[in-house]
Chains A and B, each alone.
Chain A
Amino acid sequence: MTPLDQDALASLFHAGAAQASQALALWLGRPASMLIDRLTRLSLIDAVGVLGGVDAEPICGCGMRVTGALSGGLLLAASDTAGLTLADLILNRPVGCSTNWGELEQSAVTETANIVGCSYLNAIAARMPGDRSGGILPSPPQFIRDYPAAVMEAAVVSQAAASETVVLAESAFRLAGVPIRCGLVFVPDRNDFDLFGAAWNEPRS
């Protein structure tokens, strides 16, 4: 298989992020803007801190295991406040109504992750090189509420077993008119080295 160069890889994940942003806007009926959109290579320490450092409050989110033409872990994450606001919007409640993580609130976030995550992966799958066009299969999203560093630690362990650096695709979105900012992080498995060959090399200056 032919590794993609840095620009082609960045373009692939940009397409995913753009589609995810549109899906989020459609799902919640509000304009969404993309705040972050990058494919990056970080030290292990920085990668674990992508969603928050040692003093960070717990986050909520959903994890999806991705297999097929692309393999790795996909995480949709937000602060507790943003997650509960998201649940309010989906459950058609006044913003601020949800105050804890009941079954309905968790389900609202899980469904959001399903829609946004699948849009992201579909856009990527449609642009994969010919020898990788076999489809991308996400697992059902699993609700997570935990410290950001603990979640990211689990996400990067596959790469960390072989390297002191981590390649990941990171995007973040903001919704108009409500205090919702959420992040979408894809961490490829180390065995996708052939596809990500260029990204694993030292970054270009």
Chain B
Amino acid sequence: MTASPDRTTGFHSDAIPIGEIGVARDSGVLRTFVGSCVAVVLQDRRRRVAALAHVMLPAANGRVTPPGKYADTAVPEMLRLLSLLAGDSVACTAMLAGGARMFAFGAGSPIGDQNVTALERALALVGIPITARDCGGACGRRVSLDVATGSVTTEMVGRGIQALEEDRR
């Protein structure tokens, strides 16, 4: 299903398009495709709220719309949307998937690594730990978040489905 993005309250659809942020509470599945883009998942398990952003570029450089498109604007916007949904401040953990070195159709260096680094920086800035990741490689990923269980799976062509294992240290 696709729907028009509502940037006030988040993207309430199961399939999150490029540059958008999806949010859900209690149940549901949020999913997206990423190549050099990165899917960032923020979850507050206690309040049972979760967000998934499809981040395309490292920095907004002053652009504000859509905030999910850029690493440095996506993280604060996800926290705002999750707080709105939870009705309270949230304590989140993060998971990352994507950032592949895809075939370079355009000019410039592959952007996947830059996206991952920018997200690490943005998450560190607000004190959110990254508990699992599946990044790099040369292929795209289908990313799926089950909000009820908190599990995140990634699927790559030729590799199949893999669950992201949380580092609980």
A154 and B107 form a contact (CB under 8 A): no
State the main secondary structure of chain A at its contact with B: mixed
Note all chain A residues with C-beta closer than 8 A to B102: 146, 150-151, 153-154
A65 and B56 form a contact (CB under 8 A): no
Q: What is the distance, in angstroms, from B16's C-beta to the closest C-beta of chain A?
A: 9
Contact residues of B between 42 and 73, Cβ < 8 Å to A: 56-57, 65-66, 69
B57 and A54 form a contact (CB under 8 A): no
Give the contact-size bracket for chain A: 20 to 34
Say yes or no: is B15 at the interface (Cβ < 8 Å to chain A): yes
Give the contact-size bracket for chain B: 20 to 34
A147 and B157 form a contact (CB under 8 A): yes
Q: A44-B18, A147-B33, A153-B33 are in contact. List 19 more A-B contacts (CB 8 A).
A: A45-B17, A45-B20, A54-B15, A54-B33, A65-B104, A65-B106, A149-B33, A149-B140, A150-B34, A150-B100, A150-B139, A151-B102, A151-B103, A153-B18, A153-B140, A154-B105, A155-B105, A158-B108, A191-B107
| A residues lining the B interface (CB < 8 Å) | 44-45, 48, 53-54, 58, 63, 65, 71-75, 142, 144-147, 149-151, 153-155, 157-161, 164, 187, 189, 191
